[in-house]
Amino acid sequence: MMFDVIIIGAGISGTFVARELSKYSLKILVIDKHNDIANETTMANSAIIHSGLDPIPGSLKAILNVKGNKMYPAICEELNVEFKKCGSINVATNEEEIKKLRALENNAKVNGVEVTWMNQEEVRAHEPNISDHVQAGLFAPSAGIIYPWELALALMDNAITNGVTLALNEEVVNIEKDNHFIVETSKGKYQSKTVINASGVYADVIRNMVCKPKYEIHPRRGQYFVLDKSEKGLVNSVIFPLPTEKGKGVLVVPTTHDNILVGPDSVFVDDRSDTMTSKEGMNYVRENAGNIVDNVPMNRVIRSFSGLRAASDIHDFIIEEDGEVKGFVDVAGIESPGLASAPAIAKLVVSIIRGILNPEEKTDFIKYQPTTLISNLSREDLRNKMIDDKSYRKVICRCEVITEGEIIASIKGNVGARSVKGVKKRCRPGMGLCQGGFCEPEVVKILARELDIDPLEVPLDSKGSNILAKETKVGEL
Ligand SMILES: Cc1cc2nc3c(=O)[nH]c(=O)nc-3n(C[C@H](O)[C@H](O)[C@H](O)COP(=O)(O)OP(=O)(O)OC[C@H]3O[C@@H](n4cnc5c(N)ncnc54)[C@H](O)[C@@H]3O)c2cc1C
């Protein structure tokens, strides 16, 4: 079959573009090498919808961040995804930093971002746990937080409802161009009129398969601690130090599920899959968080993780059709603020594809109606479900109070979970204080039953990461 568009990568960039393009009469295929969508950078970041106050004025980062931020409330409402507009505060801890904060205030104004200057007392009134070192702050009310997995899943679910095909577990290994593109994956070959390269830290590798080299991606790793929900209220807004050329610094950030994120650091790595955490990195995060927030309760850490920024040597987003290989569109160098910019990035890519293919807009686009359960149910919805279905009466995850019915619903539908982590991403068993100590064996059992596979075949995460090696006891697992 000839596709109109092949999108390589199902992170936030690929899923957003897929959903926007599904509003047109186009045959679209999204390919990702993982067994789930959003399994790389989109699942490991600070989850902030930045205001757009710090990117260099006139850069794509600045323009698309500010636009994207404005689009977030409506898109989240449309997709039933939580967007908490909690605001952000950049803080200064000495005279030198106060000068830099004034410069940041100017930058914000040039970028068209509303900000308010706060003196020490005003910062403290807003954030009682702010460090005594903090002397002033710059408040950006338009900044917010989301749950990026949830958004990517809702986008992909809706795109599939509108005719997009998703191919998981397929790694793109080669691309050729004749009259059209031939995209070769680990499973087969697909033909397409256009190719969108949304492959994150692999964007230069994918591009160089068919185009002349233009940029290089040098992954920059960022590591985090996650604090237990008991620390809710440690900060009310996103607390930033001053940005540097290495990034936005070590932050203290509330999450939409009431945890607190502390991090990240910023270190270049050679290996594009190196999402390890290191003792040095975690120590760096711990020390720097203390500069902006007092007594960060490190004894309440429930997890650590890291993500890779797709930093390019162009130092800006690269979103364009190649000059020579017509129909090949880069969505590359999408480091921070890639999440905040995603709705605006998608609109820009749609305008490029419309310029190439001139597709008709559909009149029968189907609005989002979830086919896969994303996020756990409200108490009221749960009560209603319990009446008809006894699987909703059985609690599997005690920390997050997730029922068997919710886990089953997260495995079904357009983008159903295929791994323990896939279930965790969708409805949160294993996200709580015990980190899956109690519920993980139950989730394995439910996945095996619902997918009609042997429990030994259930992966923790990517294909091959099976949890169980062999049966050790005779009898029912
Ligand atoms: C530490 C850190 C903190 C951040 N904080 C923020 C923040 O607070 N706010 C913000 O706006 N942005 C933030 N970002 C940036 C944001 O997370 C990214 O811009 C965004 O997630 C990038 O999404 P993407 O879809 O472009 O890439 P990805 O999410 O990496 O998706 C790329 C996809 O391509 C697939 N792929 C790659 N190669 C192949 C292949 N050969 N075949 C098939 N599939 C392939 C991968 O499997 C992957 O799913 C942060 C990033 C990091 C690392």
Query: Would you say the CB of residue 264 lies under 6 angstroms from ligand 1?
Result: yes
Residue ID of nearest Cα to ligand 1 atom 2? 45
Q: Are 304 and 282 in contact (CB under 8 A)?
A: yes
Q: What is the pLDDT of residues 8-18, one digit of tens each?
A: 999 999 999 99
Interval 145-169 mean pLDDT: 97
Cα–ligand 1 centroid distance for 383 (angstroms): 37
- Which of 21-30, 215-224, 395-404 bottoms out in mean pLDDT, i.e. has the lowest? 395-404
Separation between Cα atoms, residue 381 and residue 119, nearest integer Å: 45
Residue ID of nearest Cα to ligand 1 atom 21? 42
**Residues 6 or more apart whose Cβ sits within 8 Å of residue 288:** 241, 249, 250, 265
Q: Is 50 a catalytic residue?
A: yes
Cα–ligand 1 centroid distance for 201 (angstroms): 7
Query: Would you say the CB of residue 309 lies under 6 angstroms from ligand 1?
Result: yes
Q: Which ligand 1 atom is the nearest neighbour of the CA of 199?
A: 34
Query: Would you say the CB of residue 51 lies under 6 angstroms from ligand 1?
Result: no
- Tell me the pLDDT band of 477, cut-offs 50, 70 and 90: low
Provide the pLDDT for residue 430: 87
Query: Would you say the CB of residue 172 lies under 6 angstroms from ligand 1?
Result: yes
Query: Would you say the CB of residue 424 lies under 6 angstroms from ligand 1?
Result: no
Query: Would you say the CB of residue 263 lies under 6 angstroms from ligand 1?
Result: no
Q: Which of 34, 42, 49, 205 to mutate to test the pocket of ligand 1 (most atoms within 8 A of CB)?
A: 42
Provide the pLDDT for residue 476: 60
Tokens in use for 467? 């949890």
Interval 30-58 mean pLDDT: 97
Residue ID of nearest Cα to ligand 1 atom 46? 9
Please count the CA atoms within 13 angstroms of the CA of 377 that sit on its side-chain side: 23
Cα–ligand 1 centroid distance for 470 (angstroms): 35
Query: Would you say the CB of residue 68 lies under 6 angstroms from ligand 1?
Result: no
Q: Which ligand 1 atom is the nearest neighbour of the CA of 331?
A: 26
Q: What is the pLDDT of residues 267-285, one digit of tens each?
A: 999 999 999 999 999 999 9
Residue ID of nearest Cα to ligand 1 atom 3? 45
Interval 31-44 mean pLDDT: 96
**According to DSSP H, which parts of 91-186 are helical?**
95-110, 120-126, 148-161
**Residues 6 or more apart whose Cβ sits within 8 Å of residue 460:** 419, 420, 421, 466, 467
Q: Which of 19, 46, 224, 421 to mutate to test the pocket of ligand 1 (most atoms within 8 A of CB)?
A: 46
Q: Is the pLDDT of residue 77 over 60?
A: yes
Q: Which ligand 1 atom is the nearest neighbour of the CA of 14?
A: 25
- Which of 24-28, 120-124, 433-437 bottoms out in mean pLDDT, i.e. has the lowest? 433-437
According to DSSP, the residues that pair with 90 across neighbouring strands are 138, 240
Tell me the average pLDDT of the chain. 95
Interval 302-323 mean pLDDT: 97
Query: Would you say the CB of residue 199 lies under 6 angstroms from ligand 1?
Result: yes
Provide the pLDDT for residue 374: 82
Provide the pLDDT for residue 243: 82
- The fraction of the chain above a pLDDT of 90, given in percent, is 88
Q: Is the pLDDT of residue 251 over 80?
A: yes
Residue ID of nearest Cα to ligand 1 atom 13? 336
- Tell me the pLDDT band of 328, cut-offs 50, 70 and 90: very high
Q: Is 464 exposed, middle or buried (CB count within 10 Å of its CB: 0-12, 13-18, 19+)? A: exposed
Provide the pLDDT for residue 375: 78
Query: Which one is catalytic: 50, 133, 218, 257?
Result: 50
Q: What is the pLDDT of residues 353-404, one digit of tens each?
A: 999 999 999 999 999 999 998 877 888 888 888 998 999 999 999 888 899 9
Interval 170-182 mean pLDDT: 97
Q: What is the pLDDT of residues 193-217, one digit of tens each?
A: 999 999 999 999 999 999 999 999 9
Separation between Cα atoms, residue 96 and residue 419, nearest integer Å: 50
Give me the residue label for tokens 């923790």.
460
